[in-house]
Amino acid sequence: MQLRDRITTALTDAMRAKEADRLSTLRLINAAIKDRDIAMRGTADEAAGLSDADVLAIMGRMVKQRQESARAYEEGGRLELAEKELAEIKVIEEFLPRQLSLSEAESAVDAAIAAVGATSIRDMGKVMAELKTKYTGQMDFAKAGPMVKSRLG
């Protein structure tokens, strides 16, 4: 079952179970996916549609946004809003694959460097592209970048 179908099914289930908070988060996910669909209209990629990797990338960005918002709310003393953001993160993460541990991420970086034959920092883009094709939704690329840089630099 494709990721989009799983989200739609979960949305329907949340409606039936009258889970208001879960339903609103699932609707936000659906809206973000539809926004991306609309943005792709008229491009060469439109016929192919969004892949699961694209949907994972969208949801990964949503998690990051909510983490930043929760942190800001906590610093501002708005704990109820921070808790709402954290609850949304839990719903989104149900659809994301398991995150790689630090050691798994390091070995993935090493494997990507070997796969593209990277020898200098100029090959960093190739390595990051390799990582993104294999580990979208499983790896934080903001943390992977410095790992790649330290190994190539």
Confidence (pLDDT) at 70: 95
Q: Which of 51, 75, 93 is the last residue of a domain?
A: 93
Question: What does pTM read for this prediction?
Answer: 0.74
SS3 for 38-74, per residue? HHHCCCCCCCCCCCHHHHHHHHHHHHHHHHHHHHHHH
CATH assignment at residue 120:
1.10.10.410
Per-residue pLDDT of the chain (153 residues; tens, 9 = 90+): 688 899 999 999 999 999 999 999 999 999 999 999 888 887 766 666 788 888 888 998 899 899 999 999 999 999 999 999 999 999 998 998 888 888 888 898 989 988 888 888 898 899 999 888 888 778 888 888 898 888 887
Confidence (pLDDT) at 144: 86
Quick one: 52 and 108 in the same domain? no
Quick one: 27 and 57 in the same domain? yes
Confidence (pLDDT) at 152: 83
Confidence (pLDDT) at 22: 94
Quick one: 87 and 56 in the same domain? yes
Quick one: 69 and 112 in the same domain? no
Quick one: 111 and 86 in the same domain? no
Quick one: 75 and 7 in the same domain? yes
Rg (Cα) of the chain, in Å, rounded?
18
Quick one: 32 and 84 in the same domain? yes
Residues 6+ apart with CB under 8 A from 118: 112, 124, 126, 127, 152
The count of structural domains within the chain is 2
Amino acid at 83: E
Quick one: 32 and 76 in the same domain? yes
Quick one: 80 and 118 in the same domain? no
For residue 108, the enclosing domain spans: 102-152
Confidence (pLDDT) at 45: 64
